[in-house]
């Protein structure tokens, strides 16, 4: 009899080999968001302004850039090994899987569609009617407390916290960890998330988390 019914995966740095889906687009456009990232980490700007500055750099390079062009760029984004195997195994065990990410929803949708996740929640890019980016974003996942978005997904599927697993890699995932019954720091990028997790997995294959989720 299974112990868990839902697994919530962070996307950036967990399902992807890049730090974030935002940074992947920065790399594609040849821009550097380090000043904005530092300003956000230092509390000088909020997450909404952080998104605005990131999107603004893309528009600065290509003023008429569209959401479809952004979506196409995600096709080449490097992914961690074992996603297909992991999601298939969890599905076979009757366990739901979702992506909870402060990344870009077009990337999360691509992964959900390709690998069979049961749902996702991530931030959106605002567009004009013709698909051009407006320069604004929609904050669907608050990085200050990812537990809020995690609880939304638990409520959506009617699953209790103690029967939910969260997998993340950075301090922004700690809120998600606090909302669930079991947490895994996968390739942790800082000591805070590592200390907050029930288990730590360092691997090039996400399937290695299965030992803790469906293992004896």
DSSP state of 52: H
Q: Give the domain 6-213 fold.
A: Rossmann fold (3.40.50)
Distance from C-alpha of 151 to C-alpha of 60, rounded to nearest angstrom: 37
| pLDDT above 70 for 191 | yes
Q: Report yes or no: 171 and 197 within 8 Å, Cβ to Cβ.
A: no
Radius of gyration of the chain from its Cα atoms, rounded to whole angstroms: 17
CA atoms of 151 and 154, how far apart (whole Å): 5
pLDDT in tens, 9-18: 999 999 999 9
Tens of pLDDT along 137-181? 999 999 889 999 999 999 999 999 999 999 999 999 999 999 999
The predicted structure's pLDDT at residue 1: 79
The mean pLDDT value for 50-79 works out to 97
- Rounded Cα distance between 4 and 6, Å, is 6
pLDDT at 41: 85
Averaged confidence pLDDT in the chain: 96
Among 79, 89, 64, 70, residue whose Cα is nearest residue 27: 70
**Residues in Cβ contact with 123 at an 8 Å cutoff, skipping those fewer than 6 apart:** 51, 101, 102, 103, 104, 105, 137, 138, 139, 140, 141
Residue 215 pLDDT level (bands cut at 50, 70, 90): low
Q: Which two tokens stand for residue 206?
A: 């996400």
Q: What percent of the chain has pLDDT over 90?
A: 95
Q: How far apart are CA 122 and CA 74, in angstroms?
A: 15
Structure tokens at 186: 């996968």
Show Cβ contacts of residue 34 under 8 Å, excluding neighbours closer than 6 positions: none
pLDDT at 106 > cutoff 90: yes
Whole-model pTM: value is 0.95
């Amino acid at each position: 009899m299974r112990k868990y019914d839902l697994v919530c995966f962070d996307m950036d740095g967990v399902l992807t080999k890049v730090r974030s889906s935002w940074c992947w687009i920065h790399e594609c456009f040849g821009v550097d968001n380090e000043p904005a990232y530092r300003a956000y980490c230092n509390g000088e700007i909020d997450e909404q302004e952080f998104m605005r500055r990131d999107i603004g750099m893309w528009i600065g390079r290509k003023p008429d850039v569209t959401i479809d062009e952004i979506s196409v760029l995600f096709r080449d984004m490097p992914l961690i090994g074992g996603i297909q195997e992991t999601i298939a195994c969890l599905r076979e065990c009757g366990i739901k899987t979702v992506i909870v990410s402060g990344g870009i929803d077009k990337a999360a949708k691509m992964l959900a569609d390709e690998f069979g996740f049961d749902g996702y929640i991530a931030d959106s890019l605002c567009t004009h009617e013709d698909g051009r980016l407006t320069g604004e974003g929609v904050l669907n996942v608050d990085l200050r407390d990812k537990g809020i978005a995690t609880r939304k997904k638990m409520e959506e599927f009617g699953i209790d916290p103690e029967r939910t697993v969260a997998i993340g890699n950075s301090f922004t995932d700690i809120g998600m960890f606090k909302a669930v019954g079991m947490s895994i720091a996968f390739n942790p990028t800082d000591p805070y998330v590592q200390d907050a997790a029930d288990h730590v997995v360092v691997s090039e294959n996400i399937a290695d988390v299965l030992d803790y989720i469906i293992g004896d």
